[in-house]
Amino acid sequence: MEAMPLVDRYAPSPTADLHLGNLRTALAGWLLTRAAGGRWLMRVEDLDEARVRAASGAEARNLADLERLGLHWDGDVVRQSERLDLYRDAVASLPTYECFCTRREIAEAASAPHDGYRAYPGTCRSLTAAEREERRATRPPAIRVDSGGATFAVDDVHAGRVAGLVDDFVLVRGDGAFAYNLAVVVDDVEMGVDHITRGDDLLSSAPRQAWLTQQLGGSPATYAHIGLVVNEEGQRLAKRDGAVTLADLPHLSPGDVLAQLSDSLGLGPARTTEEALAAMPGDQRFFSGAVWREGGLAQP
């Protein structure tokens, strides 16, 4: 039976303009998808209402920047703010418990993390009904999934087989907002996503997300984690580093910017997405990061 074309997605958060690191990851995902004859979907992750309101117009600018570079997507734009019922139903289908811990309490109880993420030690899992009722009087609970101490492994086209512990991560925050790890998994399952291209800073979260995918009846995706763009100090690129968004680069045409992005991926200075696609290597391995120096991107 012939293999089905892969389905990938790009998922910007409209809380700021896309910087060159975001655009570089988008280009990598678009190229991997188009090279495989697949579908590249667009999802706007707009659950953080306060930050979205503070960045008025960011969604429109994000989508316009992608289109200016020739990164056109398939189908309609999906917005997380319009999918709350899906997240609510997913939470109801999972084993969960209330958690009243503060971040400080978790930090003090957990061992020092290797990747910036502190695994939850299960402090609130065994609270009695009376203890939960007492804590609700002073603090609204978050809702955590009860993972049962699972471990899970994912396949990454660059890193290979990656296994990790699945802790009891948050599904619903204490303020009632659905958590990132829940929403992205529900969306990927519902949208039929089977290939995920994103920054390699998210590699450590892949096992828990893939585990949740399976709990919700989906099949875990294959991942392609792309090296980040960093500044000259080795820190991930941010607005504070200067001219890093398209709006900051009015002297460059979309072709000029695309040429920098393509060249930083090792494909040469392609000025159109078609040229970049034609330059794709046979093994599609262009996963190293890049460095932003004043005036442009460069390979490390």
Catalytic residues: 239
Q: Tokens in use for 19?
A: 């910087």
Distance CA 95, CA 22 (A): 35
Helix H or strand E encompassing 171: strand 170-172
DSSP reduced 3-state for 291 = strand
Instruction: Tell me the residue ranges of DSSP E strands in 4-128.
Output: 7-10, 39-44, 78-79, 96-99
Are 33 and 195 within 8 A, CB to CB? yes
Nearest to residue 23, comparing CAs of 282, 264, 285, 267? 264
CB proximity list for 283: less than 8 A, separation 6 or greater: none
**CA-based diameter of the chain, in Å?**
65
> What DSSP assignment string belongs to 194-255?
-EEEEEGGGGGGHHHHHHHHHHTT--PPEEEEEPPEE-TTSPBP-GGGSS-BGGG-TTS-HH
